[in-house]
Amino acid sequence: MSCWALVPLKARRFGKSRLAGVLDDAERASLVQSMLERVLAALADAREIDRIAVVCCEPERVPPAILSLPDSGQGLNDALAAGASRLWARGADELLVIHADLPLVRAADIDCFVRCGRSQGMALAADRHGSGTNALFVAGVTDFSFQFGAHSLSRHLAAAHARGIAPALPELDSLAFDIDTPADLACLPPAALAPTPHLRRSPTPCLITC
Ligand SMILES: Nc1nc2c(ncn2[C@@H]2O[C@H](COP(=O)(O)OP(=O)(O)OP(=O)(O)O)[C@@H](O)[C@H]2O)c(=O)[nH]1
Ligand SMILES: O=C(O)[C@H](O)COP(=O)(O)O
């Protein structure tokens, strides 16, 4: 069984645009980098995750131990669909799509989410407002149509139900808290902005950009 995590990362100049009123370019870049490192560290510590990939049009932002997948610039869902098809072609059995803007994410919650997903064939992690999708796990369904974007949770549920899948919807605080708006930022505990942990367990090295 090979479970891949796929993390989408938006181009530097466009990322976290909704925070432009409260953070300057350098501050937004620093926040994005810090959150990315936290998500990658949690994935590296998660027992249920075998391999990690980042889909991004800036491969220099992807740590060398992590597979970098290209983004052709057609938006989040196209980037994820293209990235996922590369991972299925590489022999992935399971796929966890998880956003890079989850500053509190914990390895234990990732493991719990994946295990819940295995029991149902799929899992969705709602954001704390109950409207967005912060993570999506799917086992073996290689052509699932990603529906990320505003209010994506109901679209993901509809797409799953149309295929006869009833996704698990585990409530895991660390997966529910994403940073989109100044109000989200105001809820971020100061400790979450402390220096980021290092990748403690190296995922299987993969130095190629494909
Ligand atoms: N590769 C890739 N990742 C994306 C793209 N759009 C969003 N993402 C990533 O998808 C996740 C969720 O993105 P959003 O919540 O929309 O965050 P954002 O786009 O950085 O923020 P805003 O600019 O304020 O909308 C984050 O990990 C983003 O970096 C895209 O076009 N390509
Ligand atoms: O929930 C989603 O599908 C994406 O993360 C985009 O939605 P957002 O408005 O919560 O960023």
Ligand 2 centroid to Cα of residue 132, in Å, is 5
Beta carbons within 10 angstroms of residue 202's beta carbon: 11
Nearest protein Cα to ligand 2, atom 4? 149
- Name the helix (H) or strand (E) containing 209: none
Within 46-137, where are the H helices? 76-89, 107-120
**Residue 121 neighbours by CB under 8 Å, 6+ apart:** 138, 139, 140, 141, 165, 167
Q: Residue 135 has what pLDDT?
A: 98
Q: What is the ipTM of this complex?
A: 0.95
What sign has the CA pseudo-torsion 183, 102, 176, 187? Answer: negative
Q: Residue 192 has what pLDDT?
A: 79
Q: Residue 189 has what pLDDT?
A: 84
- Name the helix (H) or strand (E) containing 2: none
Residues in the chain: 210
CA-wise closest residue to 55 among 32, 36, 28, 82: 82
Q: Residue 191 has what pLDDT?
A: 78
Q: Residue 210 has what pLDDT?
A: 25
> Could you report the average pLDDT of every consecutive run of 10 residues in the chain (210 residues)?
96 93 94 96 98 97 96 96 98 98 97 98 97 97 96 98 97 97 92 63 34
CA-wise closest residue to 16 among 180, 134, 186: 180
Q: Residue 200 has what pLDDT?
A: 47
Q: Residue 193 has what pLDDT?
A: 67
Q: Residue 172 has what pLDDT?
A: 97
Enter the tokens of residue 4: 């891949």
Gap between the Cα atoms of 49 and 51, Å rounded = 6
Contact 47, 111 (CB under 8 A): yes
**Which runs of E-coded beta strand occur in the chain?**
3-8, 51-55, 67-69, 94-98, 122-126, 133-139
Ligand 1 centroid to Cα of residue 62, in Å, is 15
Nearest protein Cα to ligand 2, atom 11? 180
Residues within a 6 A CB radius of ligand 1: 8-10, 14-18, 55-56, 71, 75-76, 79, 99-101, 180
Q: Residue 197 has what pLDDT?
A: 56
**Which of the ligands is closest to the CA of residue 126?**
2
Enter the tokens of residue 132: 């967005």
Contact 99, 153 (CB under 8 A): no
Residue 79 Rama label (left phi>0; alpha psi -120 to 50; beta)? alpha
Record the pTM: 0.93
